[in-house]
């Protein structure tokens, strides 16, 4: 039976985050040929609808209100619950982002439904959808199914491939009027630290530094390498605590969870809390002067050596490939 | 202030993990207070010391969670409650746990409830917001600071590295992020005192819940270790030869560049 799936789109600074498209692709797996409805919440965001359609949405519902300019759990819950009531979906998909993590449990609780969080892949087995998610800080995986009723999941960014973009695809776009009342939490100030450039959770290449980078200026060669590869710079908590870089670069259980194609760990020992945020990366390279460092256990390729020798040489070599 | 802390006993994921019979083997494993709940306990104690009141730590689980509850009492919490579901509940999920906690808390007139933002084993981060929704109180997740002045609360929360300053009011539920504080270790006198502090044990019956009311909405059908990666290749030779080889491997073998 085909199913109607509602997926939440997420915009940041006027642009859609990739996870919005990945959620559409995940929705397709749930829908069995049914309709994918993307919900876009905010203010002055309706121009983003077309891109959702080109990535596979069969319908876009926008909810706009000046109280939705910034995310709040109360405001977004009202908008989303109105969309859910209007569409009566059989399934819901959010990204497992700060927003998705904050909002999804509340919606699930309100609907009296289950919720499978942080899904990294979706399979079908005996006509049933099976959701796979990392547990125990990434040291194990579990397969979960829904015991009936609404299928509600959040997906980890950068794990489920978006559908190919179809330029010029068209679909219905409607706007839903929702009276947003009574916000009980008010945002007074936002300090944006997330650096411009590539969003860490969406980056295909990440060059990460740890306490071994030794200083703020020690991050410069890492930045140069990341730029050369079109990637982003990340860090361990060790480097953040030592004030070599901002906490917004932190990768791990407390920081960002990333799944790039290539993760280059420089001067990072490989604590479990760090690995929880990166062990799913497709290819991991470790550069560390201690041959016993834990990070070598998850690395596909390792160089035992001083990162200040290795990174500049890497930059040189990669430049050669880029030229050829 | 009447403060409640939601505490989960978790597997210490720094330890080695093995599977037996589709489950994580827990014999001989090390169990701890979920680290994010340690921040929650510490914050609750500090707020109580500043504003007076009482800290109650509550956990849903089995008798084995008594040990972690005693540790929380030794840190300085005033009371502990264990909701022992071992005999009543065979399977559970986040819906189950939150439903039980919500039912327990609904008549407690909590001013502030503090949870961890995520459990390091189950890892969903659902329980805090689910409980707040059931109690129909506001919540703020992943907080790194909190100040209470009368009913008014000012919070800083971490949003993927950005920090948001939020104003809200009691009653409220918050979830703790790393950076909120440095949890204290229980002192020896603390440990002695903890032995005499009240640790109440409840079952579903005491909350007027039937097994059906808390039946999980999702089911785990398998648990497995990640496929063993082929042992990583630690390169050898002169550093510049290693670098050449690495770039070549990334380009030709792994094809990521
Ligand atoms: C609740 C909790 C949550 C946490 N969350 C996170 C998290 O989200 N992210 C995170 O990263 N950590 C987290 N941590 C901290 C974690 O436990 C580690 O302390 C931290 O990851 C260590 O950082 P590091 O590897 O940079 O430092 P270290 O462990 O000090 O390692 C530095 C490494 O650099 C190597 N080195 C030194 N000099 C050089 C050189 N010149 N060239 C090459 N190598 C060199 C050393 O051999 C060493 O292996 C958390 C901890 C707790 C308790
Ligand atoms: C008898 C029994 C059987 C179980 N069977 C299953 C099973 O079959 N399948 C399965 O997936 N899980 C099972 N569990 C685990 C349990 O359902 C989940 O671990 C729990 O719902 C919490 O989810 P989480 O780990 O994702 O926590 P999160 O939602 O990530 O936790 C966030 C925060 O919520 C609070 N919190 C979470 N759990 C508790 C708790 N128990 N008590 C108090 N506060 C808490 C803490 O403050 C924590 O930091 C079982 C547990 C028990 C005791």
Closest CA to B26 of A150, A140, A322: A140
Report the nearest-CA residue for atom 15 of ligand 1.
Answer: A237
Q: Are A225 and A207 in contact (CB under 8 A)?
A: yes
When CB atoms are compared, the residue of B13, B224, B247 closest to A141 is B224
Closest CA to A278 of A290, A287, A268: A268
When CB atoms are compared, the residue of A118, A188, A194 closest to B124 is A118
Cα angle value A118/A130/B222 (rounded, 5°): 85
Q: Are B199 and B57 in contact (CB under 8 A)?
A: no
Contact: B219, A309; criterion CB under 8 Å: no
Domain B2-214 CATH class label? alpha beta
Q: How far is A110 from chain B, CA to nearest CA, in Å?
A: 7
Query: Which residue from B5, B8, B132 has its CB within 8 A of the most atoms of ligand 2, so it is best to mutate?
Result: B8
The length of chain B, given as a count of residues: 257
Q: What integer pLDDT is reported at residue A194 of this predicted model? A: 63
For chain B, the structural domain boundaries read 2-214, 230-257
Structure tokens at B220: 């785990």
Cα angle value A226/A229/A233 (rounded, 5°): 20
Confidence of residue B7 (pLDDT cuts 50, 70, 90): very high
Q: Which residues contact A120 (CB under 8 A, 6 or more apart)?
A: A132, A133, A134, A141, A155, A156, A159, A160, A259, A280
Q: What integer pLDDT is reported at residue B124 of this predicted model? A: 98
Residue A240 beta carbon below 6 angstroms from any ligand 1 atom: no
- Which of the ligands is closest to the CA of residue A96? 2
Model confidence pTM above 0.90: yes
When CB atoms are compared, the residue of B120, B164, B223 closest to A253 is B120
State the sign of the Cα–Cα–Cα–Cα dihedral A162, A166, A172, A175: positive
Q: What is the mean pLDDT of residues B127-138?
A: 98
> Residue A235 C-alpha to ligand 2 middle, in angstroms?
30
Cα angle value B234/B239/B244 (rounded, 5°): 80
Name the residue of chain B whose CA is nearest to A104's CA. B126
Name the residue of chain B whose CA is nearest to A99's CA. B159
CA pair distance A264, B217, nearest whole angstrom: 39
Environment class of residue B215 by beta-carbon count within 10 Å: exposed (0-12), middle (13-18) or buried (19+)?
A: middle
Residue A42 beta carbon below 6 angstroms from any ligand 1 atom: no
The answer to whether A289 contacts chain B (CB < 8 Å) is no
The domains located in chain A, with CATH, are 5-175 (3.40.50.620), 200-323 (3.40.50.1220)
CA pair distance A21, A50, nearest whole angstrom: 12
Closest CA to A250 of A210, A221, A192, A286: A210
> Residue A277 C-alpha to ligand 1 middle, in angstroms?
13
Q: What integer pLDDT is reported at residue A76 of this predicted model? A: 98
Q: What integer pLDDT is reported at residue A195 of this predicted model? A: 65
Sort out which chain B residues have CB atoms less than 8 A from A193's CB and list them.
161-163
Average pLDDT score over chain B: 96
- pLDDT by residue for chain A (324 residues), tens only, comes to 899 999 999 999 899 999 999 999 999 999 999 999 999 999 999 999 999 999 999 999 999 999 999 999 999 999 999 999 999 999 999 999 999 999 999 999 999 999 999 999 999 998 899 999 999 999 999 999 999 999 999 999 999 999 999 999 999 999 999 999 999 999 999 998 766 678 899 999 999 999 999 999 999 999 999 999 999 999 999 999 999 999 999 999 999 999 999 999 999 999 999 999 999 999 999 999 999 999 999 999 999 999 999 999 999 999 998 776
pLDDT digits (tens, 9 = 90+) for A250-299: 999 999 999 999 999 999 999 999 999 999 999 999 999 999 999 999 99
ipTM: 0.97
Higher pLDDT, B44 or B227: B44
């Amino acid at each position: 039976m085909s199913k109607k799936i509602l997926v939440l789109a997420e915009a940041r600074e006027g642009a859609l985050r990739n996870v919005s498209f990945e959620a559409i692709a995940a929705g397709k797996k749930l829908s069995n040929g049914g309709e994918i409805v993307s919900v876009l919440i905010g203010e002055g965001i309706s121009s983003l609808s077309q891109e959702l359609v080109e990535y596979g949405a069969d319908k876009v519902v926008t909810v706009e209100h000046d109280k939705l300019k910034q995310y709040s759990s109360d405001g977004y819950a009202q908008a989303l619950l109105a969309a859910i009531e209007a569409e009566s979906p059989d399934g819901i998909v959010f990204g497992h982002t700060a927003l998705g993590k904050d909002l999804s449990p509340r919606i699930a609780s309100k609907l009296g439904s289950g919720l499978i969080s942080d899904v990294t892949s979706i399979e079908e087995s005996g006509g049933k959808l099976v959701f796979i998610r990392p547990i125990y800080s990434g040291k194990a995986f579990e397969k979960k199914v829904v015991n009936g009723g609404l299928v509600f999941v959040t997906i980890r960014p950068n794990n489920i491939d978006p559908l190919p973009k179809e330029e010029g695809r068209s679909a219905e776009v409607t706007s839903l009027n929702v009276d947003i009342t009574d916000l009980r939490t008010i945002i007074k100030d936002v300090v944006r630290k997330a650096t411009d450039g590539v969003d860490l959770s969406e980056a295909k290449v990440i060059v990460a530094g740890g306490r071994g980078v030794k200083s703020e200026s020690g991050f410069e060669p890492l930045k140069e390498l990341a730029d050369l590869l079109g990637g982003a710079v990340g860090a361990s908590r060790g480097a953040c605590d030592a004030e070599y870089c901002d906490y917004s670069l932190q990768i791990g259980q407390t920081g960002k969870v990333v799944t790039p194609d290539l993760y280059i760990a420089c001067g990072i020992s490989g604590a479990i809390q760090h690995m929880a945020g990166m062990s799913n990366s497709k290819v991991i390279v470790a550069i560390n002067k201690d041959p016993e460092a834990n990070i070598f256990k998850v690395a596909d390729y390792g160089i035992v050596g001083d990162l200040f020798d290795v990174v500049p040489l890497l930059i040189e070599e990669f430049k050669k490939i880029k030229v050829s | 202030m009447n403060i409640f802390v939601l505490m989960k006993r978790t597997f210490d994921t720094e330890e080695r993990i093995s599977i037996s019979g589709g489950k994580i083997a827990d014999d001989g494993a090390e169990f701890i207070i979920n680290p994010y709940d340690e921040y929650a306990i510490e914050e609750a104690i500090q707020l109580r010391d500043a504003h007076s009141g009482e800290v109650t730590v509550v956990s849903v689980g089995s008798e084995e969670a008594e040990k972690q509850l005693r540790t929380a009492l030794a840190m300085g919490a005033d009371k502990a409650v264990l909701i022992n579901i071992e005999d009543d509940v065979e399977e559970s999920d986040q819906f189950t746990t939150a439903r039980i906690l919500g039912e327990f808390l609904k008549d407690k007139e909590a001013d502030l409830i503090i949870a961890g933002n995520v459990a390091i084993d189950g890892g969903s981060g659902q329980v805090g917001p689910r409980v707040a929704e059931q109690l129909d109180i506001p919540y703020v997740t992943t907080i790194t600071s909190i100040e209470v002045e009368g009913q008014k609360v000012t919070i800083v929360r971490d949003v993927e590295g950005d920090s948001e300053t939020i104003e809200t009011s009691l009653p409220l539920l918050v979830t703790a992020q790393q950076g909120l504080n440095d949890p204290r270790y229980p002192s020896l006198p603390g440990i002695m005192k903890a032995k005499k502090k009240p640790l109440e044990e409840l079952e579903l019956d005491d909350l007027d819940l039937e097994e059906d009311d808390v039946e999980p909405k999702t089911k785990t059908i398998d648990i497995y270790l990640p496929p063993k990666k082929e042992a990583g290749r630690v390169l050898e030779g002169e550093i510049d030869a290693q670098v050449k080889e690495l770039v070549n491997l990334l380009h030709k073998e792994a094809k990521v560049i």
